[in-house]
Every structure is written in structure tokens, then in C-alpha cells.
Amino acid sequence: MNIAIYPGSFDPITLGHLNIIRRTAQIFDKVVVCIMINGEKDTAMFSPEQRVRMARRVTERIPNVEVDYFNGLLAEYSKRYDKPVVVKGLRAVTDFENEFTMALINKKINPELETMFLTASEKYTFLSSSAVKDVARHGGPLEEFIPIEILDDVRAIAGKGKY
């Protein structure tokens, strides 16, 4: 069985993320969406548990996708699986520089780990969780940015100003 791990903070999961998940699910037998903590990013809007629940809701109709959570190194997490491939979505050249560096570090820690890059679909190249949080914070329209299954969650948290 070929397994892909799609890691990210997914805070919140966007339509761009979902696009990468769906495309990855067509290539691999199993896709593990791994919610991870990114200490370099801004304050989280959602707790890891909330992100896992939302990601499960959004991917429940994709039979070969499961959602997990890990607070540690991706290279260590990947050792749970037999020869997994990390899938990373790329929106722009700047994404490539960072992701390429991380792929090399992961390979040093776990020599069996491969990374595959998928370019974002054209209509999602601008989209990021940070942008979604900014739009949400200002009460802007979210329908074209995040899955409908989590619209109410994002609006509720953004309206409370808890991030």
C-alpha cells in the first residue's frame, strides 16, 4: 500500500488544502492528513482537537483519507508507516524554497522519507490559512476560501475574537 502524509497546521483547512487532499487521494492508496503545530506561524485560531474534527468533517467523503494529529517532527511521525511519501502543496516559488529545505532536513532525519510537491490549482495559488483568518477577523466573506462544512466554526471563533 502506498501512503502519503499531507502535513500542515490547517488552521483552518482551506479549499486549497482540500484540493491537494483530493488530488493526492487519487494518486495514493491512503492519505494521512496530519495536523501539526507550527511554532513559527501566528497564533492558532483553533485548537489541535478542533482542527482534527474540522478536517475529518471536510474529508469524510474521501474514503482513503484519515486525519491524525502529531506534535513533533514530521520525520519522526513518518516512521509509523512503511515508506510513506510526504506531499506538500506549492503556491509560489517562495513556498518551494522553504519546503525544499524542510524536505532535505526530513531526509537527513529519516533517510527512507521521500517528499513529493504538488502545485496548487491556479484558483488557489493566493489562498492561505493566514489570509482566511484575516478575512474572518474582519467579517469578510469566506465561502470561496474554506469548505462549507466549517463555515460556521470559523465565523463563530472569529466573532469571539479568540485568536
Set 53, 57, 91, 137: catalytic member:
91
Q: Is position 17 annotated as part of the catalytic site? A: yes
Set 9, 88, 129, 133: catalytic member:
129
Q: Is position 78 annotated as part of the catalytic site? A: no
Q: Which three cell numbers stand for residue 87?
A: 506531499
Set 9, 17, 78, 88: catalytic member:
17
SS3 state at 115: strand
Q: Is position 41 annotated as part of the catalytic site? A: yes
Residue recorded with cell 478575512: 135
Q: Is position 138 annotated as part of the catalytic site? A: no
Q: Which residues are catalytic?
A: 17, 41, 91, 129
